[in-house]
Amino acid sequence: MTGFLAVLAFVLGASLGSVMNCVAWRMARKESVLHSRSRCVRCGHELKALDLVPIVSWLLLRGKCRYCGEKISPRYVITEVLLGAVFTIAFLRLGLSWAALRAMGLCCALLGLSLVELDTQDVPDPFLVFGILWWLVFVFLMPEGVRDGMLSGMFAAIGIGGGMLAITLAYEKVTKKESIKGGDLKLLFVVSLFLGPLVGLMNLILAAILGLVFVYVMRSQKIPFAPPISIATVFCLLFGTAMVDWYAGFFR
Ligand SMILES: [Zn+2]
């Protein structure tokens, strides 16, 4: 049964990964996210259901458009596999629970906004608003209770998001250089709601290390910080509590 559900989680993740790719692509180009069928980016041919099966279509068509033969960016299939894997791990770690569903929903939003930021250098607000609403819904469903969940989330978000905002403003005042963008700070605020203060702080450290790697690899002026923050958050959502316990073990 567990094996079957794990496979189901993978299929669900890969499918939602495909949807998020489509949403992000349209959002980055300021197109309507709803309406209109999916089309090939190059020849504009309308895609049929068979062309849109996550991962499978890409493999069967060997990464090319069926109609014009143009190569399809591997970004789609890579992110579909990644979200499928994340969903499977979420299910295996958190079981059939509200916590698993909560993590899966946030991971979808993180994938979508990371893809848009890579294309446009902007973190789109709709994903952040979705994140806040998603957190709010699950405050009422999580085992720790409404009061504790609300307090720990708000405390983390205001402390970490606000703290980073203050540091950024001071840094920009002193150096007269632009550093982390407002959208990325808003993202830190939203993910900290989900993680609470302890894991949220660990997430900040992990995101900063990954961010430095991104700065080093991309060597550009405009660094997208949403992907490193998102990767760190996914890790912390799935392994955060275990990491904090392991760390606390040193002091016992
Ligand atoms: Zn085509």
- Please report which residue ranges of the chain form alpha helices under DSSP H: 2-28, 56-60, 74-94, 98-120, 125-139, 146-156, 162-175, 182-218, 226-248
Q: How far is the CA of 50 from the centre of ligand 1 (A)?
A: 14
Strand partners, 5: none
Q: How far is the CA of 22 from the centre of ligand 1 (A)?
A: 16
Q: How far is the CA of 83 from the centre of ligand 1 (A)?
A: 25
Choose among 201, 12, 214, 11: nearest CA to 117: 214
Distance CA 145, CA 98 (A): 13
What are the backbone dihedrals phi and psi of residue 217, each rounded to the nearest 5 degrees, phi first? -70, -40
- pLDDT at residue 144, as a whole number: 85
Q: How far is the CA of 63 from the centre of ligand 1 (A)?
A: 11
What are the backbone dihedrals phi and psi of residue 46, each rounded to the nearest 5 degrees, phi first? -65, 135
Q: How far is the CA of 27 from the centre of ligand 1 (A)?
A: 21
Tokens encoding 51: 């062309």
Are the C-beta atoms of 203 and 233 separated by less than 8 Å? yes
Q: How far is the CA of 151 from the centre of ligand 1 (A)?
A: 51
48 DSSP 8-state letter: P
Q: How far is the CA of 51 from the centre of ligand 1 (A)?
A: 11
Q: How far is the CA of 48 from the centre of ligand 1 (A)?
A: 12
Are the C-beta atoms of 130 and 187 separated by less than 8 Å? no
pLDDT along the chain (252 residues), means of 10: 94 95 90 78 84 88 89 90 97 94 97 94 94 96 90 95 91 83 92 95 94 82 87 95 84 76
Cα distances (Å, whole numbers) of residue 29 to 16, 124, 140, 175: 20, 12, 36, 34
Kindly report the pTM of this predicted structure: 0.92
Residues 6+ apart with CB under 8 A from 232: 203, 206, 207, 210
Residue extents of the structural domains in the chain: 1-96, 98-252
Q: How far is the CA of 29 from the centre of ligand 1 (A)?
A: 18
Are the C-beta atoms of 205 and 229 separated by less than 8 Å? no
- pLDDT at residue 181, as a whole number: 82
- pLDDT at residue 18, as a whole number: 92
- pLDDT at residue 37, as a whole number: 76
190 three-state secondary structure: helix
Q: How far is the CA of 64 from the centre of ligand 1 (A)?
A: 8
Tokens encoding 223: 């660094």
Q: How far is the CA of 52 from the centre of ligand 1 (A)?
A: 13
Q: How far is the CA of 69 from the centre of ligand 1 (A)?
A: 6
- pLDDT at residue 35, as a whole number: 65
Q: How far is the CA of 70 from the centre of ligand 1 (A)?
A: 6
Q: How far is the CA of 42 from the centre of ligand 1 (A)?
A: 5
